[in-house]
């Protein structure tokens, strides 16, 4: 997902996305989701375009982008592994699994492996609390994980 | 006749391999030339048995589970299409004790029907509530919901009918129904299961709310961590719109109601209703001070009903069967049924819907079957990250809003997370503060700063630095947060912290190694 488009393209695509969604009530979050889907993150070059089109200040748009954990200011790795760190997963050894994931990848949470393959993130609940611990790899959910399954997931992500 | 084989599409089943099972099943059916079709149903809620495959037979549905893709061939060899015997066979689904003991009103169809078949929905009693509602006066609908005793299932327990009445009586050229599907509490998944397993019941409940209050537009604000729920809800809304359940003329009546799904962006605080409204408006998810109430000035300053998924999904059965039918379940001022979500370190995790009143002990020991690890239960957190930790000594507390409040706890969204005796309660208390610090919207000082100070104080206790003084300080800080915060995030974080310290004081003593060094 490391896509670096020339500035003009970002502006153009942002304009198109905003044009498509600005008639919605409260369009900013849908627009930001769409931009992140398109580029893998919310490029800084998008912000003035969104602000102008929605008649907001650039600070207001930036304030919204930075409030929400989902929106990235930089591209993630090719794969994103999210491990649930919330209570139900803690009760089933989630902390141990998190340590193992960090060791396997050689990175901490919110970091990307040097080869750009995997970004490791924490998530607070995937709603799979009856079959903890759980994780999400590129949008696919995995539950009742043990170390062996985590290793398989990590290996899959590293490819 | 074509045999129906059910393989759930619920995210929990998928996380345990249901997609692979469905594919293997489809391949085997084709290879063997069987006259069978696969229905992707919701989950029955017995998650330790997922993926739970069912087959429809003359005697009823027969269950097999937990099924892995590699079991499919042997299941078909054993005559699965006729409900044949196999080591994974569990007998009739409805006779499985966990399922049989339940009273399923809100979840009546979940796991039984094809979630995206409106015909199936109708065939199982769907739309009867809305059909009644379109011919009723709005005030009569509100009265029915009020009389049912339904209280907000998101956690606050506020009477749903009173909220609706306020919106009905409020003036405004546009009113909204907002469904809070930002189910961020660890240990809860009831909203997710309804959206994935019976999305039409939520649509029906929201349409009834619209007719009852004069609102013509609805939003389902769903968390981004729930991609399967978002997909199912979005598709169901399109189907409902095409069938005339939603739109300019709901079921051919003069009432208009339409709705759409909106996706959150990973902020826990947006489960707080006023933050959610700001987020829907495209702003930072900051909490708003109340008053004004959302019922008067909610979304875009218009009168707004904001209800949890389960509250809204419970409305169709109330309209269909009548307020008295629903009210007759439950205890005290907690009327009707509650979908208890059993999670964490348990043998039998899943969703268990029953009238209010079971004791915590019955839920943990009998229904959940104790811990998955086989070790003794140490603590049970009830009501999500902002809920109290209950020790075994309080297991006689009945599941009821007031009974839990009397024990300095809350039932919240009715999720329970079980911990075995390896749990470290100081660590859990610290986590509650840390979570609050990360997720605080920053609007009010007790929550924004108190939570960070809370983490530091917990660390000092751990390090053995003036433990007695710091325990007092932690209690004092909790008191400030409880009474000084604007919303439940800062206001309820003291529940897990104080309950951990009160019920498990031994975990707040300095570590023995430190004592030895002194």
Give the start-to-end residue ranges of the domains of chain A: 7-67, 79-158
Parent domain of B196: 118-327
Q: Does B412 touch chain A (CB under 8 A)?
A: no
**Domain count across chain B:** 4
Is the sign of the CA dihedral B380, A128, B342, B85 positive or negative?
A: negative
Residue whose structure tokens are 């760190």: A85
- Let me know whether B273 and B295 are in one domain: yes
Is the sign of the CA dihedral B236, B242, B245, B249 positive or negative?
A: positive
C-alpha pair distances (Å), B321 with each of A88, B66, B109, B318: 36, 35, 15, 5
- CATH for A79-158 is 3.40.30.10
Is residue B105 situated within a structural domain? no
C-alpha pair distances (Å), B12 with each of A156, B27, B196: 21, 23, 10
pLDDT per residue rounded down to tens, chain B (518 residues): 899 999 999 999 999 999 999 999 999 999 999 999 999 999 999 999 999 999 999 999 999 999 999 999 999 999 999 999 999 999 999 999 999 999 999 999 999 999 999 999 999 999 999 999 999 999 999 999 999 999 999 988 999 999 999 999 999 999 999 999 999 999 999 999 999 999 999 999 999 999 999 999 999 999 999 999 999 999 999 999 999 999 999 999 999 999 999 999 999 999 999 999 999 999 999 999 999 999 999 999 999 999 999 999 999 999 999 999 999 999 999 999 999 999 999 999 999 999 999 999 999 999 999 999 999 999 999 999 999 999 999 999 999 999 999 999 999 999 999 999 999 999 999 999 999 999 999 999 999 999 999 999 999 999 999 999 999 999 999 999 999 999 999 999 999 999 999 999 999 997 665 444 44
Cβ B387 vs Cβ B495: under 8 Å: yes
Closest approach of chain B CAs to the CA of A133, in angstroms? Answer: 8
- Let me know whether B362 and B259 are in one domain: no
Is the sign of the CA dihedral A91, A95, A98, A99 positive or negative?
A: negative
- Let me know whether B11 and B137 are in one domain: no
CA B335 to chain centre: 17
Tell me how far apart the alpha carbons of residues A131 and B342 are, in angstroms, rounded to a whole number.
10
Q: Which residue of B has its CA nearest to A149?
A: B16
Burial B471-505 (b: 16+ CB within 10 A, else e): bebbeebbebbbeebbbbbbbbbbbbbbbbbebbe
Contacts of A33 in chain B (CB under 8 A): 224, 263, 265
Check which CATH number belongs to the domain holding B185 and give it.
3.40.50.11540
Cβ A20 vs Cβ A59: under 8 Å: no
Which of B189, B350, B435 shows the shortest C-beta gap to A124?
B435
- B459 in helix, strand or coil? helix
- Let me know whether B343 and B321 are in one domain: no
Interface of A with B (CB under 8 A): 25-30, 32-33, 54, 60, 63-64, 67-71, 86-92, 123-132, 134, 136, 139, 141-144
Closest approach of chain A CAs to the CA of B123, in angstroms? Answer: 29
- B101 in helix, strand or coil? coil
Q: Tell which of B298, B327, B356 closes a domain.
A: B327
Closest CA to A144 of A154, A132, A135: A132
- Let me know whether B497 and B405 are in one domain: no
Q: Tell which of B386, B405, B420 closes a domain.
A: B420
- Say whether pLDDT at A91 is over 50: yes
Which of A28, A87, A130 shows the shortest C-beta gap to B282?
A28
Q: Which residue of A has its CA nearest to B352?
A: A130
- Let me know whether B338 and B312 are in one domain: no
How many other CB atoms sit within 10 Å of the CB of residue B125? 15
For residue range A73-86, list pLDDT tens digits in order: 999 999 999 999 99
Is the sign of the CA dihedral B413, B414, B420, B421 positive or negative?
A: positive
- Let me know whether B321 and B339 are in one domain: no
Q: Do B50 and A131 touch (CB under 8 A)?
A: yes
What residues have CB less than 8 Å from B319, skipping those under 6 apart?
A: B128, B129, B130, B132, B133, B141, B144, B145, B208
- Let me know whether B182 and B231 are in one domain: yes
Number of H helices, E strands in chain A: 7, 5
Q: Do B47 and A125 touch (CB under 8 A)?
A: no
Q: Tell which of B100, B126, B152 closes a domain.
A: B100
Residue B253 DSSP label: S
Tell me how far apart the alpha carbons of residues A117 and A121 are, in angstroms, rounded to a whole number.
13
- Let me know whether B227 and B323 are in one domain: yes
Residue B424 DSSP label: -
C-alpha pair distances (Å), B511 with each of B464, B467, B515: 7, 11, 7
Burial B404-418 (b: 16+ CB within 10 A, else e): beeeebbbbbbbbbb
C-alpha pair distances (Å), A57 with each of A43, B31, B102, B265, B280: 17, 61, 53, 21, 18
- Let me know whether B270 and B404 are in one domain: no
- Let me know whether B223 and B245 are in one domain: yes
Global confidence as pTM: 0.96
Closest CA to B410 of B507, B504, B334: B334
Q: Does B10 touch chain A (CB under 8 A)?
A: no
Q: Do A130 and B343 touch (CB under 8 A)?
A: yes
Closest approach of chain A CAs to the CA of B146, in angstroms? Answer: 30
How many other CB atoms sit within 10 Å of the CB of residue A111? 15
Q: How far apart, in Å, do the first and last CA atoms of chain B sit?
A: 79
Q: Which residue of B has its CA nearest to A82?
A: B225
- Let me know whether B273 and B340 are in one domain: no
């Amino acid at each position: 997902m490391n896509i670096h488009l020339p500035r003009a393209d970002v502006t153009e695509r942002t304009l198109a996305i905003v044009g498509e969604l600005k008639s919605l009530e409260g369009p900013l979050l849908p627009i930001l989701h769409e931009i992140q889907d398109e580029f893998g993150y919310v490029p800084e070059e998008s912000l003035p375009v969104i602000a102008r089109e929605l008649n907001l200040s650039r600070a207001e748009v930036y304030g919204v982008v930075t409030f929400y954990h989902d929106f990235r200011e930089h591209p993630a790795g090719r794969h994103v592994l999210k491990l649930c760190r919330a209570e139900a997963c803690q009760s089933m050894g989630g902390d141990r699994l998190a340590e193992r994931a960090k060791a396997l990848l050689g990175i901490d949470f919110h970091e990307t492996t040097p080869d750009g393959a995997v970004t490791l993130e924490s998530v607070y609940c995937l709603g799979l609390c009856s079959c903890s611990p759980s994780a999400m790899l590129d949008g696919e959910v995995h539950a009742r994980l043990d170390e062996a399954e985590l290793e398989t997931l990590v290996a899959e992500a590293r490819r | 006749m074509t045999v129906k084989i059910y393989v759930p599409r619920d995210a929990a089943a998928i996380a345990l391999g249901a997609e692979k099972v469905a594919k293997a099943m489809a391949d085997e059916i084709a290879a063997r030339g069987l006259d069978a079709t696969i229905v992707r149903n919701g989950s029955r809620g017995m998650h330790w048995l997922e993926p739970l495959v069912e087959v429809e037979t003359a005697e009823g549905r027969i269950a097999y589970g937990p099924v892995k893709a590699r079991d499919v061939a042997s299941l078909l060899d054993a005559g699965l299409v006729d409900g044949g015997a196999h080591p994974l066979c569990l007998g009739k689904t409805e006779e499985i004790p966990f399922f049989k003991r339940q009273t399923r009103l809100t979840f009546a169809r979940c796991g039984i029907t094809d979630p995206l078949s409106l015909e199936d929905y109708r065939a199982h009693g769907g739309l009867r509530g809305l059909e009644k509602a379109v011919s009723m006066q709005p005030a009569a609908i509100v009265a029915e919901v009020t009389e049912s005793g339904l209280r907000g299932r998101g956690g606050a327990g506020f009477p749903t009918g009173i909220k609706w009445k306020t919106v009905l009586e409020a003036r405004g050229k546009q009113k909204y129904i907002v469904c809070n599907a930002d189910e961020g509490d660890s240990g809860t998944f009831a909203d997710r299961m309804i959206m994935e397993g019976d999305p039409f019941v939520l649509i029906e409940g929201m349409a009834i709310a619209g007719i009852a209050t004069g609102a013509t537009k609805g939003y389902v604000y769903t968390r981004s961590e729930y991609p399967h729920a978002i997909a199912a809800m979005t598709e169901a809304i399109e189907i409902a719109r095409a069938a005339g359940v939603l739109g300019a003329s709901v079921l051919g009546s003069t009432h208009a109601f339409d709705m759409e799904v909106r996706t959150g962006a990973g902020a826990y605080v947006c489960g707080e209703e006023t933050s959610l409204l700001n987020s829907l408006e495209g702003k930072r998810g900051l909490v708003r001070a109340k008053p004004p109430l959302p019922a008067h000035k909610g979304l875009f300053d218009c009168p707004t009903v904001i209800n949890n998924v389960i509250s809204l999904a419970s409305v169709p059965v109330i309209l269909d069967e009548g307020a008295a039918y629903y009210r007759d379940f439950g205890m005290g001022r907690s009327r009707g049924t509650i979908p208890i979500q059993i999670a964490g370190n348990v043998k039998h995790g899943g969703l268990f819907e029953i009238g209010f009143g079971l004791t915590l002990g019955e839920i943990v020991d009998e229904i959940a079957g104790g811990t998955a690890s086989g070790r003794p239960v140490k603590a049970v957190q009830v009501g999500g990250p902002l809920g109290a930790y209950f020790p075994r000594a309080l297991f006689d507390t009945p599941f009821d809003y007031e009974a839990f409040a009397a024990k300095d706890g809350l039932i919240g969204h009715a999720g329970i997370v079980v911990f075995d005796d390896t749990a470290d309660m100081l660590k859990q208390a610290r986590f509650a503060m840390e979570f609050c610090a990360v997720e605080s919207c920053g609007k009010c000082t007790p929550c924004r700063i108190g939570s960070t100070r809370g983490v530091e104080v917990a660390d000092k206790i751990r390090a053995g630095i003036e433990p007695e003084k710091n325990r007092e300080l932690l209690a004092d800080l909790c008191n400030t947060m409880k009474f000084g915060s604007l919303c439940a995030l800062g206001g309820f974080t003291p529940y897990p912290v104080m309950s951990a310290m009160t019920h498990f004081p031994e975990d707040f003593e300095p570590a023995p190694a430190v004592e030895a060094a002194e």
